Structure 1
Amino acid sequence: MASLDTERLRLVFEGRPDILTGIEKAADTPERVSLFNKIASFVQERLAGDSSQDGPAAKRRRVDVGNANGHANGTSSGGASSSGEAASTAAAAEPVLLEVKDISVSIPQRKKFDLCMTKNYLYARVSGASAPAQGIVYAWKDIEYAFYVPVPEKTQLQYNYILFPRNTSLTSLKAGATADVEPFVFTVPSTGPKPGTVGGPGANTAASVSDTYSSLFNWALTNQMRSVGNRTSIVASDAKVFHSMMRQSHRPNEKAVHVKAFRGSKDGYLFFLPAGILWGFKKPLLFIPLDRIAAVSYTSVLQRTFNMVVEVDLGDEQAEEVEFSMIDQEDYGVIDEKYVKRHALQDRSMADKRKAKRELAENAKDGKKKGEAGGEEGADGGAAGEPDDGLTELQRAEQALQDEEDEDEEDYDPGSDGDSDGSGTDSDEDDDDGGEGGEGEMDEDEDEDDDE
């Protein structure tokens, strides 16, 4: 008696355990087993066909899938889930052109996966499995931004690849907005792949054009995006364009192309790239394209640190400010000169400074008038009892403001602040997102637990 194709059935009817249970109970004869297998194969082919079409009929069928699950127009979480399931099914149905095994992924899941590339999709799957991992399926045509940067604070040089699907780079700044799929972050070493790591029909070509993981993925990702008409280029950090003034003790011969910063209570890294500003690698990731930066201003400029506020144009006459705090003062000049001014970004902090000085001057004048009215006038018209320190009221006010800022800096505890950008966090999120960028290094016990 033929057996049920349970793997295909689970893939097709993912999210509907009631249907799977019914099929398993009813498949009590060879004829019924064959019929159910044919149904599963037919549904999988139809789903794959729908995902590759862009016409009204395909859109209507996707809406119907959402409605069948009780979600109008497929706009709720159920609709997003149906869309993800359809992409997963379509990706699994396509032949794998290139496979790279044992790649460390940090977002959206922290685990080692095999990365598979088909004609239309990039996806991750657990070693030995045939289906994509849930939520890690990306259509080549939908990748809007791709970045390649060194992983900060790792003794051995490693690189992160960061892929943003369309309309996900600014999601965390939009109140109530959610994306169907999260950005994708995976890490590769600076060395070349070990024998047997790369497989599929494209393995020989890959070996002839690349000798390191980086050259392999730069070639493969670019080639696959171009094959479907996506002109997105991989943007890499470049120390000749921007680098921090801080010396890296763990890699002293290499200039850091990032600066440390907090976003709310989360510590992370800022990369000032030719295409915009990237912040990572804690969830939610954020990339601000240059054409979306309305203005930049510097606040809380103290002796050792300063904050940077970026005003982001979200479209539809909406704007949002995101603040990056506790940036080292040594990087103030390079950020301002090498990035803000070089890209002709509007600096509104000057207006803020002028306003603060005007208010200080006005307050100083008011204080002087009160002193003159309440005390005896001296030969120079000054107020009686004024401290004999040789400073004007304005200078005293500025000195008092500086002393207050220095005290605030000494008392500052980034862990006590909420997320200033308004993004929400879960208590266990930092455990899920893998901490610092591309924390692909995992001990053997953790890998075994994940695989299980």
Structure 2
Amino acid sequence: MPPAHAQEVDLAFAGNHELRKRVHAAIDQNPTQSTLFRDISAYILGQASQPSSEPTAKKRKLEESNGAQNGATAPSSLTSAATKAWRQYPGTSFSLPQRKKYTLELVDSKDGGVRALGADGSVEFSIAWRDVDQVFCLPVPEKAKRQHNFIILPVHGDGVGPVPDHLKASPPEPVVWTFEEATGKNIVEGEDPGPGPMAEAIHHCLIQAGTGKEVIFPDADQFESAIPQSHRKGEKAYHVKGHRGSKEGYLFFTSAGIVWGFKKPLAFFDFASVTAVSYTNVLRNTFNLVITTQTGDIEFGMIDQADFNGINEYVQKHGLQDASMAATRRAQKLNVNPPKEKEKGANGAAAAEPDDGLTELQRAEMQLQDMEDDEEDEEDYDPGSEGESEGSGSDSEDEDGEGYEGGEGDEYDEGDEEGAEGEEMET
């Protein structure tokens, strides 16, 4: 593309850095379209030089709807580097939507938001406060230094719920950056070295924008892991390690819902989106958690049995195993009349659909209890009566192929599952 063409594109799309980059990328991919983009740029520049006969209010609405991406506001405000930020944090490490260090800025006006600035001062990406669904501050597990990930979830960007047709081509993405606590000489006397001040700054902006949102931290009253943290003894852990397919990650059970992070695809299960929760492959050491939503089932595997009770209590506390409760929660979130409840039993609970009268959760609990009983029987096993035994637990679990053996930190491999549990029990 000749320099003159590039200059026209830069001038025409000067107010929207992201769109300008997309135009240049399209031209590089298909140089034959350079003339078309040049004509479009010339037309835009020509229109800008002519006085507009439209009413000011109508013109402003058109400008605000032009070029907004990933929740960004009008080019003249949030996406314009000329707009002054209220707080600025240079050298912030982002992991989503791009893995790179940028200058994090918070714009605290009603039309403000979060944005990332490149080395040249241009806005690389942004999200407006009015387009924010949730904000989380979650500790990063298994790090020698204390780190926290701030997660900004846009509306329709939870990775779980259906995306409207007009956003399917380019669905909104979460914004994730890492805050590392100050240590040693970096600690400033009288200042909180943790993420508190940054969270307070974000909360201030959310109030200024009138969103009614707040930064959500993990809470031991909601969930606390039963597994000790080997790298920091005595410190509480709020995460559960698991696998989504072959990808390892962490589940956080918060007051607003369940968060899966921190790599793509990040997912947030709002209470209103959860239709049911069930347990599968319940073994002696691990189990799988299946979260059912309107769009299908998402399974998280190889969760440590030590955290079963904590997760179970969380699920029961929020009624996540009851489909009728899910419909009611969705109705409350959408501010519409809730659906009629199922006929209640004598204890006030919704009548169970299965013939045995048990919920999926209760059946999983019974299965786990049976396994614990089997384990106690195995401990009482007398080697002298080997020939009279009806079969050891290792044989049955070898047939299932659901076992997993490995020390802490071993990489998970689905191909290694078969027979591993049996080997562990035979030793």
User: TM-score normalised by the shorter chain: which range applies?
Assistant: 0.5 to 0.7
Using a 3 Å threshold, how does the CA distance of structure 1 residues 277 and 106 change in structure 2: closer, same or farther? Answer: same
TM-score (normalizing by structure 2): 0.63
Using a 3 Å threshold, how does the CA distance of structure 1 residues 401 and 41 change in structure 2: closer, same or farther? Answer: farther
1:181 CA displacement: 2.6
Query: Which of 246, 250, 254 is residue 265 of structure 1 equivalent to?
Result: 246
Post-superposition CA distance 1:27-70 (Å, at most 9, x none): xxxxxxxx979959999xx9xx99xx8xx87666778x6xxxxx
Name the counterpart of 1:107. 96
Amino acid corresponding to residue 299 of structure 2 in structure 1: E
1:186 CA displacement: 0.6
Partner SS for 2:289: strand
Using a 3 Å threshold, how does the CA distance of structure 1 residues 188 and 398 change in structure 2: closer, same or farther? Answer: closer
1:16 CA displacement: 4.0
- Rounded Cα–Cα distance in structure 1 between residues aligned with 2:86 and 2:36: 31
Give the helix-richer structure, 1 or 2.
Answer: 1
Amino acid corresponding to residue 321 of structure 2 in structure 1: Q
**Preserved contact between residue 70 and residue 171 of structure 2 (Cα < 8 Å):** no
Partner SS for 1:231: coil
1:110 CA displacement: 1.0
1:11 CA displacement: 2.7
1:342 CA displacement: 2.3
Amino acid corresponding to residue 277 of structure 1 in structure 2: I
1:12 equivalenced with 2:23 (yes/no): no
Using a 3 Å threshold, how does the CA distance of structure 1 residues 193 and 167 change in structure 2: closer, same or farther? Answer: farther
Name the counterpart of 1:121. 113
Which structure 2 residue ranges, 5 or more long, are not aligned?
A: 1-6, 25-33, 323-358, 369-386, 416-427
Amino acid corresponding to residue 140 of structure 1 in structure 2: W
Post-superposition CA distance 1:286-329 (Å, at most 9, x none): 010122222211110111110011112x3xxxx42111100011
Name the counterpart of 1:153. 142
Name the counterpart of 2:266. 285
1:166-315 alignment runs, 5 A limit: 166-171=155-160, 177=168, 179-191=170-182, 211-212=192-193, 214-312=195-293, 314=294
Partner SS for 1:408: coil
Post-superposition CA distance 1:340-368 (Å, at most 9, x none): 122233274347659999xxxxxxxxxxx
Using a 3 Å threshold, how does the CA distance of structure 1 residues 220 and 99 change in structure 2: closer, same or farther? Answer: same
Post-superposition CA distance 1:111-159 (Å, at most 9, x none): 11101222212100123x22201xx211011111000111111101111
Using a 3 Å threshold, how does the CA distance of structure 1 residues 351 and 214 change in structure 2: closer, same or farther? Answer: closer
1:409 equivalenced with 2:403 (yes/no): yes
Partner SS for 1:221: helix
Name the counterpart of 2:423. none
1:340 equivalenced with 2:331 (yes/no): no
Post-superposition CA distance 1:72-107 (Å, at most 9, x none): xxxxxxx87698695587521422222111111111
1:9 CA displacement: 5.3
- Rounded Cα–Cα distance in structure 1 between residues aligned with 2:153 and 2:13: 29
1:94 equivalenced with 2:79 (yes/no): no
- Rounded Cα–Cα distance in structure 1 between residues aligned with 2:310 and 2:101: 37
1:236 CA displacement: 0.1
Partner SS for 2:230: coil
Post-superposition CA distance 1:238-281 (Å, at most 9, x none): 23532111111111231211010101111000001111100001
> How many residue pairs are counted as aligned between the two chains?
329
Post-superposition CA distance 1:203-256 (Å, at most 9, x none): xxxx99964462321121111111121111111012353211111111123121
- Rounded Cα–Cα distance in structure 2 between residues aligned with 1:221 and 1:389: 67
1:12 CA displacement: 3.5
Using a 3 Å threshold, how does the CA distance of structure 1 residues 192 and 137 change in structure 2: closer, same or farther? Answer: farther
Using a 3 Å threshold, how does the CA distance of structure 1 residues 152 and 178 change in structure 2: closer, same or farther? Answer: farther
Using a 3 Å threshold, how does the CA distance of structure 1 residues 116 and 159 change in structure 2: closer, same or farther? Answer: same
1:316-335 alignment runs, 5 A limit: 319-335=295-311
Post-superposition CA distance 1:357-402 (Å, at most 9, x none): 9xxxxxxxxxxxxxxxxxxxxxxxxxxxxxx9586xxxx8999755
1:50-61 alignment runs, 5 A limit: none
Partner SS for 1:181: coil
**Preserved contact between residue 10 and residue 20 of structure 1 (Cα < 8 Å):** no
1:189 CA displacement: 1.6
Using a 3 Å threshold, how does the CA distance of structure 1 residues 83 and 402 change in structure 2: closer, same or farther? Answer: closer
Amino acid corresponding to residue 12 of structure 1 in structure 2: G
Amino acid corresponding to residue 402 of structure 2 in structure 1: D
- Rounded Cα–Cα distance in structure 1 between residues aligned with 2:240 and 2:228: 11
Using a 3 Å threshold, how does the CA distance of structure 1 residues 149 and 41 change in structure 2: closer, same or farther? Answer: farther
1:194 CA displacement: 9.8
**Preserved contact between residue 270 and residue 280 of structure 1 (Cα < 8 Å):** yes
- Rounded Cα–Cα distance in structure 2 between residues aligned with 1:253 and 1:40: 66
Name the counterpart of 1:367. none
Partner SS for 1:334: helix
Partner SS for 1:340: helix
Using a 3 Å threshold, how does the CA distance of structure 1 residues 178 and 302 change in structure 2: closer, same or farther? Answer: farther
* CA-based RMSD: 4.7
Partner SS for 2:279: strand
Amino acid corresponding to residue 91 of structure 1 in structure 2: T
Name the counterpart of 1:130. 121
1:15-30 alignment runs, 5 A limit: 15-17=22-24, 18=34
Which structure 1 residue ranges, 5 or more long, are not aligned?
A: 27-34, 66-78, 196-206, 358-387, 418-452
- Rounded Cα–Cα distance in structure 2 between residues aligned with 1:41 and 1:400: 83
- Rounded Cα–Cα distance in structure 2 between residues aligned with 1:19 and 1:90: 31
Percent sequence identity is 30
**Preserved contact between residue 260 and residue 267 of structure 2 (Cα < 8 Å):** yes
- Rounded Cα–Cα distance in structure 2 between residues aligned with 1:85 and 1:20: 27
